Amino acid sequence: MRFGIDIGHNSPPDTGANGIKYEDNLTLDVGNRVIGKLKDLGYQVINCKPAKSDSVGDSLRQRCAKANSSKVDIFVSIHFNAFNGFANGTEVFAASDTGKKIAKPVLDEILKMGFFNRGVKNGSHLFVMKNTNMPAILVECCFIDSAKDMKLFNSESMANAIVKGLTGKLPSSPVISVPDETSNPDVSVIRLQKALNRLRMTDYSGKPLDEDNVIGQATISAIKNFQEIVDIQQTGIAGDTTWGAINQVLAKPVMRKNHAGGIVMKYLQYRVGAEPDGIYGLFTEAAIQQFQRANGLYADGIVGNLTWRKLVE
């Protein structure tokens, strides 16, 4: 049995939705875990996510072409929903009768996590359903803008549910996968200092912090600097709100016009010299493009992995 696993989006300009968490982060985490677990069970697995794409349409075409050329037996596309902050639950799309038979046990396993049952739905309108030659399903794991769903969600449990639904079994040990930085529990002083240095936050004299694991005046001033930039209360204390903001930025979500805003956008605007209003408008786009050109990057205005490396790494 050969599976084609399609990790949704993650190929700018094909990027996922934003909510309480970022779809790109979650699909990457869950998808990598699913791939690892299927391989541990002895299955052949083809990762259908393209490394790069020219457009959303190009991204979708590449995914289908990879599955078709690799002659996979089952194609599984992993996604997360977003709507209005109130909608919640799990749904799985399929087009063929065989696809629906594959979708049902996957849905049943995910529902055991406590999600609302939105059912197996007709996916004949979806590009990946219409353009793959094998039975295909598209899993909308849950809603990233639903507080209820995000409280229930766990990457390892979701991956287990998908794999068990597909195969009826699980590997004996968990798969270590891509961490979701937005949920990093480490709030140590040394991580704080390392994070502030990565974010290019300096002390009162404009110098990088000594990573000495001590909260002194230099570290306090760097914290205040970050708090001012992202427009949260300037206490000089790294509490939950500040750590939440730091982790959001370090998660390095894909940012593009009409698809980004808030704390991460304000930090990004600070770094590229745009007005820090938290809105990705024309002036911000121009500033990002200028930053990209200055750093030898393709100036498309999309802040993806390569641009984030120049900003944070």
Q: What domain range is 237 assigned to?
A: 184-311
pLDDT for the residue numbered 177: 47
Residue 175, in any domain of the structure: no
pLDDT for the residue numbered 178: 44
Helix (H, G, I), strand (E, B) or coil at 120: strand
Residue 30, in any domain of the structure: yes
Domain boundary among 120, 135, 167: 167
Which run of H or of E encompasses 289?
Answer: helix 282-294
**Separation CA 165–CA 163 (nearest Å):** 5
Residue 172, in any domain of the structure: no
**Separation CA 143–CA 138 (nearest Å):** 14
Residues 152 and 239 in one domain: no
Q: Judging by beta carbons within 10 Å of its beta carbon (0-12, 13-18, 19+), is residue 158 exposed, middle or buried?
A: buried
pLDDT for the residue numbered 116: 97
Q: What angle do CA 50, 22, 118 make, to 5 degrees?
A: 90
CATH number of the CATH domain containing 33: 3.40.630.40
Residue 179, in any domain of the structure: no
Residues 215 and 155 in one domain: no
Residues 17 and 144 in one domain: yes
Cβ neighbours of 275 (radius 10 Å): 13
Residue 174, in any domain of the structure: no
Residues 191 and 290 in one domain: yes
pLDDT for the residue numbered 305: 78
Residue 80, in any domain of the structure: yes
Residues 145 and 230 in one domain: no
pLDDT of the chain, 313 residues: tens digit per residue = 999 999 999 888 888 888 888 899 899 999 989 998 999 899 999 999 998 889 999 999 999 999 999 999 999 999 999 999 999 999 999 999 999 999 999 999 999 999 999 999 999 999 999 999 999 999 999 999 999 999 999 999 999 999 999 999 987 766 554 455 666 778 899 999 999 999 999 998 999 999 999 999 999 999 999 999 999 999 999 999 999 899 889 888 878 776 556 889 999 999 999 998 888 888 999 999 999 999 999 898 888 878 998 998 7
- Number of domains the chain contains: 2
pLDDT for the residue numbered 196: 95
Asked, as a colleague might, if the bond just before 50 is cis with ω within 30 of 0, I would say no
What does residue 269 show for φ and ψ, rounded to 5 degrees? -60, -40
pLDDT for the residue numbered 132: 97
Residues 161 and 254 in one domain: no
Residues 283 and 207 in one domain: yes
- In this prediction the pTM is 0.66
Chain centroid, CA 151 distance in Å: 17
**Separation CA 290–CA 45 (nearest Å):** 40
